[in-house]
Structure 1
Amino acid sequence: MDVAMTSTTETVCPSCGGPVSEADRFCEACGTELNPGSATSPTTPALDTDTEPTIEISTVPVDQVGPCQSCGGTVGAEGYCETCGTKAAKLRDHFEEQPAPWVAGVCDRGIRHSRNEDAMALGADAEPGSRALLVVCDGVSSSLDSDVASLAAARAACEVLQAGHAKGLGTDSSRGSAIAARLKAAADAASDAVLDNTSPDSPNPASCTFVAAVLEDGLLVAGNVGDSRAYWFPDEAEPVALTVDDSWAAELIATGISREEAESGPHAHAITRWLGKDAPDHTPRTTTIHVTGPGWLVVCSDGLWNYCSEAAPLADLVRQTAAGCGGEPKATASALVDWANAQGGQDNITVALARI
C-alpha cells in the first residue's frame, strides 16, 4: 500500500529491486525493511526483519499455539521447533475470526511481505442475517509500525460499532443515517488508535486504510478511507461494489481510463486518503442499501482484489469458492486467501465474509 505524497529521490529495494524512496522504511513490493542508506543496490543482501509484533492477536502462549508446521514437533517457549529447529509462524502472520457461524474472516501475511500489516475485527449477533460488523484496515508499508496501528484501528472501530443498535427516528432513512453516523464515529476511533501508536517524532508516521460494513436488520451501510473495499453479492441480482477507492487509480478511472490500465500502472496502489498523523481527511464516504434477499457481504484488502477487481468476476469467484466449501464462511474466506496466495500473494490478504 502506497500513500500518494511527494517523495524524495527514488532508488531500489536491496532485496527485490523494486522502486523505493529514501524516506521509505519498508519496500512496498516485498516488505523488506530499509535502513538509511541501504536502498542503493539490488545486490545488497536482504535484511532480517523478523521482529515480534507489539500487539498480540492472542494471549495463548507460543508453545500452545500448535505443532510445528514442518515436522509436527513441539514448538518451544522461544518460538522454535524442539525437533527440527524451524521457527514457528507468528500469530500475527495468519489469524482467523468467527463471531457467529454466518460471519468469519481470515487475515494472512501473503507470500512476498515479511510481516502482516493487514488487520480485521468482526462482530455479529447469533441469528443469521440480523447484525454483522466487519472492519478491515491495511497498513501502509512505507510507514513505521503500520502493523501495530492497523490492528489497533480495526479493534477500536469495531468496539464503537458494537456499542449499540442504531434506532434513528423509526424510519429506514433515519436509521440508515444513524448507522452512517456511527460508522463515522468508528473511523474517528480508528484514527485516534493510529495516532496513539505513532511516535511523535516519526519521519514516517503510522498509517492505514479503513473500510467497515454494518448490517442491521436489512440495512447495509459501508464506508471507506483508502482502497480497502466492501462488496455486496446477492444471489439473484447484480453484484455491487459498495465503496469507491481513494486512490490515483480510481481518479484515472473516473477520467475514462480503463480499469485494467489504471490498476496496472506504476502508481496503481497510491492512495489519496488514509488514517494517520499526516492524513488529509479521514471521514469515510458511506453507501446505504437495502438487503432484500440472500447473498454474500465481502469486505477485503487489496491483497484479494489485486487479482480480481471488478464486482462481477469477484462475485463469481466468491460464489464458486463458497460452493466448494459448503457455503461455510470461514472455510470460504480461507479458500479465497489460498487463491490469492496462489496468484502470487504479493500483498497481505484479508477476507471477511457474512452469509446473509
Structure 2
Amino acid sequence: MSQLPRPPQLTACPACHEPLEPADNFCGGCGADLSAVPPPAAPGEHWRTGVPGRGGGRADARPAPGPLPGPPPGSDCSASPTAPPASAPPDPRDPRAAVAVPGQGAHALCGAPGEPGAARPGALGAGRACTACRSGMIDKDGYCEHCGHAQPRERDHMEHELPDVAAVSDRGLRHHRNEDAYAVSAPALADGTTATVAVVSDGVSSATRPDEASAAACAAAGEALGEALPAGTDPRRATHEAILRAAEAVAALASPPAVNEPREHEPYRQVNAPACTIVTAVVTGELLTVGWIGDSRAYWVPEDRGTEPARLTEDDSWAAQMVAAGLLSEAEAYADERAHAITGWLGADAYEIEPHTASFTPDRAGVVLVCTDGLWNYAESAEEMAAITPSDARTRPLAAARQLVAHALECGGHDNVTVAVLPFPRPSDGAGAS
C-alpha cells in the first residue's frame, strides 16, 4: 500500500479560524482535531516587504491581510467604551479571566519569562484542571488532555502601573497568543528628578518566534534607557542607542548557520528570522522624546480637547511610503491590502537599522499614547485616537489604558493590542494643566 501524501500545513482552524502553530494537533480556540479536517488557507496580519531603501529588499511570502472585522452588533467604535466595573466577577469560561494582575515597583517588563509581570495565576503548567471542560488535566505544552483546549498563557493579558505611567496588553480575539510586549520604568536622574520610560514592541507574525522577538526588544531597550538616562545621556541619544541595543538582542535570536554552510553575507542574516517593531517614549522634565522602527506608534493627546492632537511617529510601511511619495492619499494608501507591509523592523534579516528619533516640548498638559497597530487599526488618525481616549487619562492612566484596549476588543480585536499611557507633565511632579 502506498503512503498517503501529507496534507499541507494548516495555518488556521477550519472550524473557528483561530491561528495555529505548525506543531498544533488541536485548535487552541475550539479544540477541533486538526488531523481530521482539510486545511484551508488563512491570511496573515503583519508581514515584511522589500521596498527599496528599507528592510534589505526581501519580499516575504506571507499573503496580504484581509479587511479588519467590523464591530460586533450594538457596539459603538467611534466613542470611548465604558470600562467594566472592577467588582464584576470574572467569567470562568473566559480563558483570560484569571491572568490580569497589576504590576508593582519602579520597573516592570511584560513578555519575558522570569521578569516582573510574567508569572500570573492561570499560567501554563502541568497538573491543573482545564478551564474549558473542567475535567481534563493539562499537559506540559499547555493543552487539555481531554478536550485539547489551549489554556491561558502568561502573556494573554498583562497590566502594569507605576506612579506616572501605565501599560496594558491583550492577545485580542483572533490570535492564539500575544506577540506584543512592553516595558515601563521610572529611572531616577542625576539632578534628583525622575524620568518616565515606556517601550512597546509588536512581533512580526510572519517571522519565527515573534513573541520572543518583542520580549527581547523591550528588555534590551528598557535596560539601555535605564542605564543611559541616570548617567546624564541626552534622551534623544539614549533613545537611539536603546533601539540599536534592542536590534542586537533580536538579531541574536536567529539560529546560526551550519558549520559547512557558506557565509556569503556577514553578519549572518537568517531568512524569516525572529523580528518585531519597536516604539519608545521618554518624559524628562519638560521634554518628550520618542523613537521607533516599524509601524508601532506614539500619539500626543492634549488634556484640553479643544486643541489639536498629533501623531508623533511616521510608519516604516508601504502605505507611508506611498503617501510620502505623493502617489496616494492617506485614505487610499491605508485602504490598500499592502498598507501594513512594513519596510523597517528589528531582526537578523533587517539589512538596515535606522532608528527614528524626535523630541518635543509640549506647551500644555496631556498624555502620550505608545501603542501597536492592534489599537490604532481602529483609530488611525490623531483625531480618532483623541476621541477614544478618556478625558481623565492624565490622572488615571491605567484606567485609560484599559479602556483603549477594551475599545479595540469591542471593535473586533483582530490583532494583539498593547498601549502605554504616559501623563505629561508627570502628575507626581505636582504640575497641572496650563
TM-score normalised to structure 2 length: 0.62
Displacement after TM superposition at 1:70 (Å): 5.9
Q: Does 1:158 align with 2:222?
A: yes
What is the DSSP-based 3-state SS (H/G/I as helix, E as strand, rest coil) of the residue aligned with 2:335? coil
Change in 2 beyond 3 A, CA 1:64/1:55: closer
Within 5 A, what are the aligned runs for 1:1-356?
Answer: 14-15=11-12, 31-34=19-22, 43-44=38-39, 55=113, 58=117, 60=119, 88-98=151-161, 100-124=162-186, 130-165=194-229, 178-201=234-257, 203-236=271-304, 237-254=307-324, 255=326, 257-320=328-391, 322=392, 327-356=395-424
Displacement after TM superposition at 1:15 (Å): 2.6
What is the DSSP-based 3-state SS (H/G/I as helix, E as strand, rest coil) of the residue aligned with 2:177? coil
Displacement after TM superposition at 1:89 (Å): 1.0
Deviations 1:221-247 (A, max 9, x none): 111100000111122332121110000
Q: Distance in 1 between matches of 2:159 and 2:216?
A: 16
Q: Distance in 2 between matches of 1:140 and 1:89?
A: 22
Gaps of 5+ in 2: 1-7, 24-36, 43-110, 258-269, 425-434
**8 A Cα contact 2:11 2:21, kept in partner:** no
Displacement after TM superposition at 1:64 (Å): 8.1
Q: Distance in 2 between matches of 1:147 and 1:213?
A: 21
The amino acid across from 1:297 in the alignment is V
Displacement after TM superposition at 1:130 (Å): 5.0
Q: Distance in 2 between matches of 1:310 and 1:198?
A: 35
What is the DSSP-based 3-state SS (H/G/I as helix, E as strand, rest coil) of the residue aligned with 1:291? coil
What is the DSSP-based 3-state SS (H/G/I as helix, E as strand, rest coil) of the residue aligned with 1:224? strand
Q: Distance in 1 between matches of 2:277 and 2:185?
A: 19
The total of aligned residue pairs comes to 311
**Which structure features the higher share of strand residues?**
1
Change in 2 beyond 3 A, CA 1:295/1:75: farther
Partner of 2:66: none
Q: Distance in 2 between matches of 1:234 and 1:185?
A: 29
Q: Distance in 2 between matches of 1:180 and 1:259?
A: 28
The amino acid across from 2:244 in the alignment is D
**Which structure features the higher share of helix residues?**
1
Change in 2 beyond 3 A, CA 1:14/1:191: closer
The amino acid across from 2:250 in the alignment is V
TM-align CA RMSD: 3.8
Q: Distance in 2 between matches of 1:230 and 1:264?
A: 21
Gaps of 5+ in 1: 1-10, 18-28, 36-41, 48-52, 169-174
Q: Distance in 1 between matches of 2:338 and 2:290?
A: 26
**8 A Cα contact 1:138 1:208, kept in partner:** yes
Displacement after TM superposition at 1:33 (Å): 3.1
What is the DSSP-based 3-state SS (H/G/I as helix, E as strand, rest coil) of the residue aligned with 2:322? helix
Displacement after TM superposition at 1:216 (Å): 0.5
**8 A Cα contact 1:55 1:148, kept in partner:** no
Percent of aligned positions that are identical: 39
Q: Distance in 2 between matches of 1:74 and 1:120?
A: 35
Change in 2 beyond 3 A, CA 1:252/1:285: same
**8 A Cα contact 2:187 2:229, kept in partner:** no
Partner of 1:8: none
